[in-house]
Amino acid sequence: MSKQRLVIIGNGMAPGRMLEHLFDLTDAYEVTIFNAEPRVNYDRIMLSPVLSGEKSYADIIIHGEGWYEEHGITLHKGEKVVTIDRVERKVTSDKGTVVSYDKLVIATGSNPFIIPVPGHTLPGVLAYRDLDDTEGMIAASAKGGHAVVIGGGLLGLEAAAGLKMRGMDVTVLHLMPSLMERQLDEAAGYLLQKELEGRGIKVKCRANTKAILGTDKVEGVELEDGTVLPADLVVMAVGIRPNAGIAKDAGLEVNRGIVTDATMKTSDPDIYSVGECTEVGGMVYGLVAPLYDMAKIAAHALAGEATAGFKHQETPTKLKVTGVSLYSVGDFGEGEGREDIVLRDAARGSYKRVILQDNKIIGVVLYGDVADGGWYNEMLKAGKDVSEMRETLIFGQAHQGGGSFDPVAAAAALPDDAEICGCNGICKGTIVQAINDKGLSSLSEVRTHTKASASCGTCANSVENLIKAVLGDAFQQKAEGMCGCTPLGHGEVRRVIKAKELKSIPAVMQELEWSTPEGCAKCRPALNYYLISDWPGEYEDHQQSRFINERVHANIQKDGTYSVVPRMFGGLTTVEELRAIADVAEKYEIPTIKVTGGQRIDLLGVKKEDLLDVWSDLGDAGMISGAAYSKGLRTVKTCVGKEWCRFGTQDSTGLGVKLEKLLWGSWSPAKLKLAVTGCPRNCAESTCKDIGIICVDSGYQIVYGGAAGLHIQGTTELGTVKTEEEVLEVVGALTQMYREQGFYLERIYKWADRVGYDHIKSVILDNLEERRAYYERFLFSQKFAQVDPWAEFVSGKHAHEFHPMADLKLEAAE
């Protein structure tokens, strides 16, 4: 039976989620997507962290190129559908592509509203709607100067915070008396304004824009009261309108948006609509949760499955600005028979307001302390009578029932449709099913399989409580925190270091409220790595925050002596190097000389007091440390290749030397071992290394993510390239992506498991622009990494600085 033809106009979050559900239900469709943007779909909710520098575009991709290939989807990137022929049932793009359909889904999203004041078309005036807008703001911010953001709603404030973090002088103009007046009351708006002004963002409420000034580009903004503000960039963030033009032109019923019934079907029974362009039940929506509800309902309708239909629910609002906690849901306007319960804590800067009508919650506004937001929302949705808890309601869930509060029991009591993750529209039932079906037992596993807590992360505690509730006694808590000094995980620490531009270990510990004065042997090396990685050339490597092995450039052994391994690039050596090794071994009475698995020579049994002299003598012969101790490049193992072997297809030894010289001295989250093998016979064992190159007749096959220690797994193919230059660029870019995103001591295969092999391929192999950007950052970092890794030690600068962590010999050894 031939498949039906499903055409989708738009490739945003709603149609992407719809296809996920549809593929779970049926394979009855051959899918074609037209995306006006020249890229795959991505998480628009996370554009604000991209603007602020906390995330990159690669971090927010939802479906990489591999996902479309896996499901046989034809994706027309950078093509906008301009006509729908409902009689012939076909669509035509602006590039002349014509595709017939059996079923059509319109998901054209919304358009930003641009205030038609004089000067609104000047270069330097941007909306804030998609990745192109975000990249435009990032490019403008690189020049510094003044930014004016018109609009004090969610998007406007997120844009303002991001531009401020990018170094611009930012002013927010808002027409109304207080910020976010649709989501916050005046009291919460006041606290939010105070917080933003404390960060150096100027806020002007009751500010009406008269004109944008400039000739060839933006130069300023004039207000109705005559005030003129300097501006090098103006961001319009004053609202959105459903993009329903193509549906109207096709004769579909359109009001504010494309009108659908509760199953997302339009006035044409073969055409559906989902997302911000859609009007269902007389409402249009801009928040993600209802859009994901539309997606699920449309998928079931397309699959011929019965569905309850779309039903309006109040959706909570959160602001994605690091360090700002607010939550609002429901109706908090004026009205007959309403009762306010308010709690203010001036010292903590928190504000809680619950609005009741007929003893039921109809609205909630929280600022500062938002932990009970989900609990209030569940009672609001359920229409629960709260009269019995009236006196304690404002103090939150922990103060109900008279006994001690059990958050796990509270999670267990939630209904299956209770929303846990607002950013990704994930309910309790979805998480519970994933835990049971896939045997998940940790927050990171649930995050990977369901996306719950994968965006802003504020629901992480709720997700973990739910895991505990499902598994009961079988639950074994896996510590998400870095160590006992902080409850924060590696991901959160990395994010805040970048977001707040923290450039010293004391600064990190102060801002993130470390519970110990100087950290510990677990967190200090991790923080040192993250600061080196994020601020190359600005942060100075703190030697005393490294383990003893890294400080003395040798591996401590169980008898207290050391192992010294000089580097041999690609496994090659010379008569002079061999003679120097022999002389050192004889001079210092080194008892054992061993050839390592990484094709080098290991001098075992070096006394601590001889280390300086051993390295000095080897240095006189031009030998440097092989970094057998480092969280960075260890070795590049090679075979002899085509120069000597009758099976060799390429110069594997020469390429191995080039790779080792490229990566030498670089840091990474954990040890990094490479191999280059001259043919598929794989004598250099490339297929169990962190990164491997297999030379073939057509070029070089690149694989990665192997392991051959306590954990054993083969590599995953990244792809094949034709030239050595491409190999160097791909490997450098892959290494940089790993060290920017990896957690300290996380091997490359664990990082790849966490972020997704398809995602990595889509960034490093399939997206030349992204690859080049990573490679350029890698080369920049190497300017500061490729120094003589033991010169300071030999010079005596650190010879006697043995930090207390030097006693942690067993923790340092691998």
Structure confidence by residue, pLDDT tens digits, 147-201: 999 999 988 999 999 999 888 999 999 999 999 988 888 888 888 998 899 889 9
Q: Please indicate if the annotation marks 639 as binding a ligand.
A: yes
Same domain, 684 and 585: no
Share of the chain above pLDDT 90, in %: 42
pLDDT of residue 476 exceeding 70: no
The answer to whether position 317 is within a domain reads no
| 423 marked as part of a ligand binding site | no
pLDDT number for residue 718: 93
Please indicate, yes or no, whether residues 712 and 749 belong to a single structural domain of this protein.
yes
Count CB atoms within 10 A of the CB of residue 198. 9
Look at residue 705 and tell me whether its pLDDT is greater than 60.
Answer: yes
In a shared domain, residues 767 and 693: yes
pLDDT band at 402 (very low <50, low <70, confident <90, very high): low
Q: How confident is the model at residue 403 (pLDDT cuts 50, 70, 90)?
A: low
Residue ending a domain, among 504, 526, 545, is 545
**Contact residues for 717 (Cβ-Cβ < 8 A; gap 6+):** 701, 702, 703
Helix then strand count (H, E) for the chain reads 26, 38
Q: What is the dihedral of CA 120, 124, 129, 134, to 10 degrees?
A: -170
- Is residue 576 assigned to a domain? yes
Taking the C-alpha atoms of residue 637 and residue 652, their distance in angstroms, rounded to an integer, is 10
Amino acid at 38: P
Is pLDDT of 572 > 90? no
Q: Indicate if the alpha-carbon torsion angle 519, 525, 531, 537 is positive or negative.
A: positive
Can you list the positions of beta strands (E) in 70-198? Answer: 74-77, 81-85, 90-93, 98-100, 103-106, 110-112, 125-127, 146-150, 169-174
Quick check: 398 pLDDT over 60?
Answer: yes
Query: Which CATH number characterizes residue 574's domain?
Result: 3.90.480.10
Chain centroid to CA 38: how far? Answer: 21
Give the residue-averaged pLDDT of 576-600.
88
- Kindly provide the residue ranges of all beta strands, DSSP E only, lying in 570-671, ordered along the sequence: 592-595, 601-606, 633-638
Tokens of 292: 């994901």
pLDDT recorded at residue 145: 94
Provide the b/e sequence for 687-721 (b: ≥16 CB within 10 Å).
Answer: bbbbbbbbbeeebbbbbbbbbeeeeeeebbbbeeb
Residues contacting 56, CB < 8 A, separation 6+: 50
Give the domain CATH number at 673: 3.30.413.10
- Phi and psi torsions of 585, nearest 5°: -60, -40
Tell me, yes or no, whether 755 and 637 share the same domain.
Answer: yes
pLDDT value at 507 more than 90:
no
Residues 6+ away with beta carbon under 8 Å from 318: 326, 327, 370, 422, 423, 456, 458
Same domain, 16 and 37: yes
Residues 533 and 647 in one domain: no
SS (H, E, C) 160-179: HHHHHHCCCEEEEEECCCCC
DSSP bridge partners of 192: none
Considering all CA atoms of the chain, what is the largest pairwise distance in Å, rounded to the nearest integer? 95
The SS3 of residue 383 is coil
CA dist 561 and 284 (Å) reads 71
Burial classification of residue 500, based on how many CB atoms lie within 10 Å of its CB (0-12 exposed, 13-18 middle, 19 or more buried): middle
Q: Tokens 């690149």 correspond to what residue? A: 702
pLDDT of 800 reads 32
Q: Which residues contact 65 (CB under 8 A, 6 or more apart)?
A: 40, 758, 761, 762, 766
The stretch 232-254 carries a mean pLDDT of 95
Which pLDDT belongs to residue 318?
77
pLDDT at residue 713 tops 90: no
User: Is residue 371 scored above 70 in pLDDT?
Assistant: yes
Q: What is the pLDDT of residue 94?
A: 95
| Strand 103-106 to 4-9 pairing | parallel
Q: What integer pLDDT is reported at residue 1 of this predicted model?
A: 63
pLDDT for the residue numbered 804: 29
**CA pair distance 593, 512, nearest whole angstrom:** 47
Q: Is residue 40 part of a domain?
A: yes
Does 760 lie in the same domain as 681?
A: yes
Q: Tokens representing 493?
A: 């620490």
Does residue 794 register a pLDDT over 80?
Answer: no
pLDDT at 466: 87
Residue 395 resides in a domain: no
Task: Write the DSSP symbol of residue 156.
Answer: H
pLDDT of residue 170: 96
Q: What average pLDDT score do residues 457-469 get?
A: 78
Average pLDDT of the residues of the chain: 86
Residue showing tokens 């160097």: 728
- Helix spans in 337-383 (H): 373-382
Q: Where are the beta strands (DSSP E) in 243-357?
A: 258-260, 271-273, 278-280, 283-284, 326-330, 338-345, 350-357
Asked whether residue 803 carries a pLDDT value surpassing 70, the answer given is no
Residues 629-655 have pLDDT tens digits of 888 888 899 998 888 888 888 888 899
Report pLDDT digits (tens) over 15-34: 999 999 999 999 999 999 99
Q: Are 348 and 280 in contact (CB under 8 A)?
A: no
Mean pLDDT value across residues 745-771 = 88
Give me the number of domains the chain comprises: 5
**Residue 383 placed within a domain:** no
Output the pLDDT for position 480: 58
Q: Are residues 779 and 643 in the same domain?
A: yes
Of 276, 380, 284, which is closest to residue 328 (Cα–Cα)?
380
pLDDT the model gives residue 400: 77
| Residues 616, 720 within the same domain | no
Alpha helices in 742-788 (DSSP H): 748-755, 757-764, 768-785
- Which of residues 238, 254, 271 is at a domain's end? 238
Single-letter residue type at 787: V
Q: Is residue 720 part of a domain?
A: yes
Are both 749 and 612 inside the same structural domain? no
Query: Model's pTM, two decimal places?
Result: 0.62
| Span 264-292, average pLDDT | 94
| 378: in domain | no
Of the candidates 597, 620, 643, which is a domain's last residue?
620
Distance CA 238, CA 743 (A): 38
What average pLDDT does the segment 683-698 reach? Answer: 91
Percent of the chain with pLDDT over 70: 93
Is residue 401 very low, low, confident or very high in pLDDT (cuts 50, 70, 90)?
low
213 and 136 within one domain: yes
b/e 244-282 (16+ beta carbons within 10 angstroms → b):
bebbeebebebeebbbbeebbbbebeebbbbbbbbbbee
Residues 698 and 752 in one domain: yes
Domain extent at residue 577? 549-620
CA 525 – CA 581 distance, rounded (Å): 31
Residue 582 falls inside a structural domain: yes
Instruction: Tell me the CATH number at 206.
Output: 3.50.50.60
Mean pLDDT of all residues in 610-635 = 84
